[in-house]
Structure 1
């Protein structure tokens, strides 16, 4: 179904490895640093991370939070967690497979719940936000980020346009539909309100210049390290190399040869449990 969210299997196979190798340094690392800085300022005593992926935020938190502060890092995809665990952290972290829609934790267990670029994938945002609020202690903070619109993330926009040229009758729109499809403040605030967050909600825009050593690196990152790969291969199981080549050519035409730089932009949302 065109509007379906990715299943846990969507991030299986080589996608987890390519995600970590290419996408983490390309687009996720600077936002992990930003979230970790915000969490450190809160001085939490217990942290839950949902949709932890391959653990880029988890590693930042493990390196910066006191050793006595427990960190539980969860994801719906066991292959992503397995890859995160294979990388490791500087001190023990509790890794646990969990669905953000049905968190297996007691009420009021954490004073920070953090989610990096996962909220866009929740099938029912209000239900997931209700769960985040439930496991927070009164006065606790729910901190998450989402990608801004596609045109403010120029590498993803360029790759999406290249795929539209390759598949003009049925272009794969994963990047526009899911990662870059949940950025409207009013829509997010409404879901948080329905999830029980009745206090003030803060929205920040964080813009970064992403640097890659080549257009090819960006093409591999998006075409092979995200669920866009599944949409490409669903149209033609043999076409992934050609699709990657076309994306690389489009990126090179727009951004040049050698190392390339492009704007990426996200929204960072802070909500507090107020009883």
Structure 2
């Protein structure tokens, strides 16, 4: 993963939240929120919160006295998340690195992370930090995307943008969001971090957009794929969106589009 893969700045948070979140993130956020809330935790830590889709899903499910600390490494994304959230005195917003958390050990009943582990430069360290945060009996709940071939729009966009830069195709989507899908590896890294009980469920869902262009715009302008395109030639950004739109429309139609998405949902404890 390159440093550029972690940069969610400029207009990316806006496109991410308005287009990417409803496209692929909301349904999985609801799943994680249900899992977290099931144990009625008194204290929850969220890492890599992004634009706050999980925060918005989870906060209403926590009891009135719960403490909810929401963190992200990227301050612009955290600011965007806080601005979207209704006023809630239980929530504390904190810029923090998931690999070096500034909280006392055994401070939380649940640590949760929505599609963030793929961005950790050292996942074992990130998992070790999550375990350090947990009280006895606590749970680490997170999800990661399955391989890109199981996620229709991401694969369509990747192939389409490659035609714009055939000698140096941008690889962000396959490399980072969809680059950590090996269930055996996930289990092994969690065990190395000290987790003994690990449950992994692969969940397929349907991604929907009002048009092929909305889906293409979401991926090309609402993720660090934009950084890769602009680093090659910013003047070709519009062409990349056009090619991605055409690729999605060829497979999924001209009107409202729907495609398969698939992710692993993980609960680790012990």
TM range (shorter): over 0.9
Query: Is 2:41 the counterpart of 1:40?
Result: no
Aligned twin of 2:136? 138
Contact 2:45/2:111 (8 A) holds in 1: yes
**Cα drift, residue 91 of structure 1:** 2.1
Taking a change above 3 Å as real, the CA distance of residues 146 and 5 of structure 1, as seen in their structure-2 partners, is farther
CA contact (8 A) 1:50 1:74 kept: yes
The counterpart of 1:210, out of the listed 207, 210, 215, is: 207
Query: Structure 2 vs 1, CA of residues 68 and 34 (structure 1 numbering), >3 Å: closer, same or farther?
Result: same
Q: Deviations over 1:76-116 (max 9, x none)?
A: 00000110111123523111000001000000000100000
Tell me which stretches of 4 or more aligned residues in structure 1 moved more than 3 Å. Answer: 5-8
SS in 2 for 1:269: strand
Matches within 5 A, 1:67-106: 67-89=64-86, 91-92=88-89, 93-106=91-104
Instruction: Work out whether 1:248 is the aligned partner of 2:239.
Output: no
Q: Which residue in the other structure is 1:194 paired with? A: 192
Cα shift readout 1:184-220 (whole Å, capped 9, x = no counterpart)? 11111111112111x1210101111111100000010
Gap regions ≥5 residues in structure 1: none
- For structure 2, the 5+ residue unaligned runs are none
TM-score normalised per structure 2: 0.97
2:46 matched to 1:49?
A: yes
Report the RMSD for the aligned CA atoms in angstroms.
Answer: 1.1
Could you tell me whether the CA contact under 8 Å between 1:22 and 1:218 is conserved in 2?
A: yes
Give the 3-state SS of the residue equivalent to 1:42 in structure 2. Answer: coil
Q: 2:210 & 2:86 partners in 1: Cα distance?
A: 26
| Conserved 8 A contact 1:5-1:123 | no
How many residues are paired up?
269
Distance 2:65 2:45 in 1: 14
SS in 1 for 2:57: helix
Structure 1 length as normaliser, TM-score? Answer: 0.96
The Cα shift of 1:34 comes to: 0.5
